[in-house]
């Protein structure tokens, strides 16, 4: 524990090495994780959280790179968490080539961490939240989280950030109608990147049309921006829109409400996994699963009834 306490102390002072180690410990779901989170949590909640998501290859990393540079030039300290998919076969991952592509200025205060999405204990939602809280508690003012918008991850990013930027490309074109509703629903800002290619106007118009249909229902109408991240075009507008959204959230306690509803979601998730873990522990101690499987195999009982029986018995005592 002494080691962990020291790591926590140094993390709160902003020591990079400690921050990095602590993220690893938590990411790996080490036994000390609950203790760490307990100590870190009271020091978090000061940063502003920006999520960047979208289909593979749409230019998320290039955009994050440009945004982080702008944030740093404006004297913000920035933490970046970039989540990339991992190989389903080996569990390994190839991460990288982001902000480090270009030279960092030495006075910039930025911490960049890559993570692989697979096989994380308790899922992506847990680790991105916990790692970003560590960065937050270490004194970072802005946290940027990049994830690929596939599967559940875009919902996770909406659960973990204050402003969600969804990045599409002209290639998303005709698919906007068909596009996963999830990605469209979570956007606070739409970006059509690679606007140097044909078709950008079209996709931007079809997003606007979609937003028009929801007119009246939207309190915040997400702006639709055209960018060419690799050429650095449109990034200043994006930067401004992010702050406009932040200002909007800061009126009438909206930010507080958003965060509280996220915490509610997180609490529910954690209660669920707490229930599952606790019950399983007890069931493993009490019930003979293999014997039950035999009974099911011999059709003395059906699987559903067997499950019900086990859980009820476990809850009784």
Ligand X SMILES: Nc1nc2c(ncn2[C@@H]2O[C@H](COP(=O)(O)OP(=O)(O)OP(=O)(O)O)[C@@H](O)[C@H]2O)c(=O)[nH]1
Please select the residue that binds other proteins; options are 17, 271, 275, 293, rule is CB under 8 A. 17
Give the strand pairing for 224-226 and 163-168.
unpaired
Please select the residue that binds other proteins; options are 13, 75, 101, 284, rule is CB under 8 A. 101
Q: How far apart are CA 20 and CA 79, in angstroms?
A: 11
Task: Pick the closer one to Mg ion by CB: 39 or 113.
Answer: 113
Which span sits near ligand X by CB under 6 A: 58-66, 114-122, 215-223, 274-282? 58-66
Residues in 165-194 at the binding interface with ligand X, rule: CB under 6 A = 193-194
Annotate 82-91 with b (16+ C-beta within 10 A) or e (fewer). bbbbbeeeee
Neighbours of 129 (CB within 10 A): 25
Binding mask 227-246 for ligand X (x = CB under 6 A): -xxxx---------------
Question: 119 contacts which partner out of ligand X, Mg ion, other proteins, none, CB within 5 to 8 A by kind?
Answer: other proteins
Task: Pick the closer one to other proteins by CB: 30 or 254.
Answer: 30
Which span sits near ligand X by CB under 6 A: 56-64, 135-143, 287-295, 307-315? 56-64
DSSP H or E stretch at residue 10 = helix 2-12
Map 101-169 to HEC letters. Answer: HCCCCCCCCEEEEEEECCCCCCHHHHHHHHHHHHHHHCCCCEEEEEEECCCCHHHHHHHHCCEEEEEEC
Applying CB under 8 A, the residues found at the interface with other proteins are 16-17, 20-21, 23-24, 28-30, 86-87, 89-97, 100-101, 103-104, 111-114, 116, 119
């Amino acid at each position: 524990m002494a080691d962990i306490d020291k790591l926590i102390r140094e993390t709160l002072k902003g020591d990079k090495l400690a921050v990095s180690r602590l993220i690893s410990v938590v990411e790996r779901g080490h036994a000390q994780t609950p203790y760490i989170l307990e100590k870190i949590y009271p020091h978090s909640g000061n940063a502003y959280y920006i999520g960047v998501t979208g289909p593979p290859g749409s230019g998320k990393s290039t955009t994050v790179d440009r945004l982080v540079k702008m944030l740093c030039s404006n004297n913000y300290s920035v933490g970046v968490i970039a989540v990339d998919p991992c190989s389903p076969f080996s569990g390994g991952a190839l991460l990288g080539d982001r902000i480090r592509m270009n030279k960092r200025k030495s006075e910039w205060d930025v911490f960049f961490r890559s993570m692989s999405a697979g096989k994380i204990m308790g899922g992506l939602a847990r680790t991105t939240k916990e790692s970003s809280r560590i960065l937050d508690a270490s004194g970072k003012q802005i946290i940027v989280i990049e994830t690929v918008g596939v599967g559940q991850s875009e919902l996770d990013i909406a659960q973990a950030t204050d402003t969600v930027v969804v990045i599409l490309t002209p290639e998303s074109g005709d698919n906007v109608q068909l596009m996963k509703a999830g990605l469209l629903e979570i956007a606070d800002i739409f970006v059509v990147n690679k606007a140097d290619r044909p078709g950008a106007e079209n996709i931007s118009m079809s997003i606007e049309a979609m937003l028009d249909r929801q007119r009246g229902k939207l309190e915040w109408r997400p702006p639709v921006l055209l960018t060419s991240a690799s050429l650095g075009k449109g990034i200043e507008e994006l930067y401004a829109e992010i702050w406009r959204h932040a200002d909007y959230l800061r009126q009438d306690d909206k930010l507080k409400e958003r965060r509280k509803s996220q915490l509610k979601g997180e609490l529910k998730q954690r209660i669920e996994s707490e229930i599952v873990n606790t019950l399983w522990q007890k069931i493993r101690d009490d019930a003979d699963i293999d014997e039950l499987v035999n009974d099911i195999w011999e059709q003395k009982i059906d699987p559903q009834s067997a499950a019900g029986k086990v859980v009820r018995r476990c809850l009784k005592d």
